[in-house]
Amino acid sequence: MTKLQLNFYNIKTCGIYTRKGHELKMLGPSKLFAELKKWAIDSKKPLIETSTYSGNKNFLEAFCLDVAESNGQFLISLWNKLPSSKYGVGVVNGSKNSGAVEVSNRRISQKDIPGYPSYFWVCPKHHVIIALRFDIPTLGISQFTEYMKGFLTHYTPHTVQRTEGKDVIQGLSEFPKPVKGADSRVPNTSLYPRFMISPRHAPTKHEEITERADSIRKLVKDVSVYNSLVDDDASVVEKIRTFFNDLPPSKERTMRVQMPVTINSNEVKGLIRKYEESDFSEAYNVGFVFKGDSNHIVWLDGANKKEDFQYEPLWKVKNQQPDLFHLLNNLQSKIDLDAHIKVDEEKPKSDAKRPA
């Protein structure tokens, strides 16, 4: 059996909207992800052609590995590119002492794309996306969000992108691209793409932590035993930032450290923002101890709705990736989403006019 962690996100906006009134006009979740499957998978295009955005200083491109569809739901796998050089991918022996480490490079061909996979279960009925975590420490949420924004902007049937002489015509149209004949559509400047998801909170919410900032007495962090805070002259805020943001966790020997603090709501919001901007990395996960409850720690990651799931994997023979269709059906048969999610909870404002 393989252990999966399910991380729940609300779909806040998804599709092509009007600038005035912010009304969803087309490509709601069901239609959008069906179009993604047609474009990336059914078309049989090479993987290298399935990226929808350019890499930036925070992360590189993502590519579509596969999309499965069953009973109105989708399971999407992206391949998230990692940095490499002309010499390949650099590696070091972590057991060596610093100063005596030798760097070696694993050669890769020009066609190889170093990276890691990420998986997303899309449930349009519930307006929820569930990120699946196997044994990789990051969910790839930032790449997924950027990927869908890029797809909405540049690659759906409603994208207008052509040249007429020296003029470049681009934008969005309420009409899909014609299957045959010339594309004479005129972009509608009142339309724009939107895709945003946010963590679905469990009973303990980030807002509640912020509201109780005055009652916080300690901050808690699991850190490597080799890390320490040495700047005794730093302010409380500087210590918090250094202590909880600059020391990544170690998979080996860790220790739990508690630091007495007096902290305000803006500083709590800063810690929460860092945690969310880091793609909910464990390196930025902070615990809070409140006045009158010294034996209980409220963790930032505990405020996000997540669940462990035991899965009997069926691997694709050639590429050692899970069979997405098998996994999707497995998830659907064993997890009752209606029991986890109230359909009418936290719907977008335009829900009454939301296309399928």
Q: Which residue has the higher pLDDT, 113 or 234?
A: 113
Based on the fold, state whether residues 35 and 48 are members of the same structural domain.
yes
Q: Percent helix, strand and coil across the chain, each rounded to 5?
A: 25, 35, 40
Based on the fold, state whether residues 10 and 110 are members of the same structural domain.
yes
Considering the domain boundaries, does residue 113 fall inside one?
Answer: yes
pLDDT at 334 over 60: yes
Based on the fold, state whether residues 141 and 268 are members of the same structural domain.
no
Predicted confidence at residue 351, as pLDDT, reads: 34
In which band, very low, low, confident or very high, does the pLDDT at 345 lie, cut at 50, 70 and 90? very low
- Kind and range of the H or E element at 13? strand 2-18
- Sequence-separated contacts (24+) of 291-296 with Cβ below 8 Å: 291/215, 291/216, 291/217, 292/215, 294/217, 294/218
- Kind and range of the H or E element at 293? strand 293-299
Considering the domain boundaries, does residue 140 fall inside one?
Answer: yes
Based on the fold, state whether residues 140 and 6 are members of the same structural domain.
yes
pLDDT at 241 over 90: no
Considering the domain boundaries, does residue 128 fall inside one?
Answer: yes
In the beta sheet, which residues pair with residue 216? 290
In tens, the pLDDT along 2-45 reads 778 888 999 999 999 998 768 999 999 999 999 999 999 999 99
Considering the domain boundaries, does residue 18 fall inside one?
Answer: yes
Based on the fold, state whether residues 53 and 191 are members of the same structural domain.
yes
pLDDT at 316 over 70: no
Considering the domain boundaries, does residue 112 fall inside one?
Answer: yes
Considering the domain boundaries, does residue 240 fall inside one?
Answer: yes
Query: Per the confidence metrics, is the pTM higher than 0.75?
Result: no
Based on the fold, state whether residues 142 and 61 are members of the same structural domain.
yes
Predicted confidence at residue 308, as pLDDT, reads: 78
Based on the fold, state whether residues 155 and 213 are members of the same structural domain.
no
Considering the domain boundaries, does residue 152 fall inside one?
Answer: yes
Based on the fold, state whether residues 222 and 162 are members of the same structural domain.
no
Q: Which residue has the higher pLDDT, 48 or 314?
A: 48
pLDDT at 238 over 90: no
* Domain limit, last residue, from 303, 326, 343: 303
Based on the fold, state whether residues 252 and 328 are members of the same structural domain.
no
Based on the fold, state whether residues 287 and 167 are members of the same structural domain.
no
Based on the fold, state whether residues 169 and 255 are members of the same structural domain.
no
Q: Please enumerate in sequence order all residues whose Cβ is within 8 A of that of 107, keeping only pairs 6 or more positions apart, or say none.
A: 87, 88
CA 70 – CA 123 distance, rounded (Å): 10
Domain count, the chain: 2
Based on the fold, state whether residues 226 and 277 are members of the same structural domain.
yes
CA 198 – CA 9 distance, rounded (Å): 5
Considering the domain boundaries, does residue 95 fall inside one?
Answer: no
For residue 287, the enclosing domain spans 206-303
- 78-82, 137-141, 233-237: which range is least confident on average? 233-237
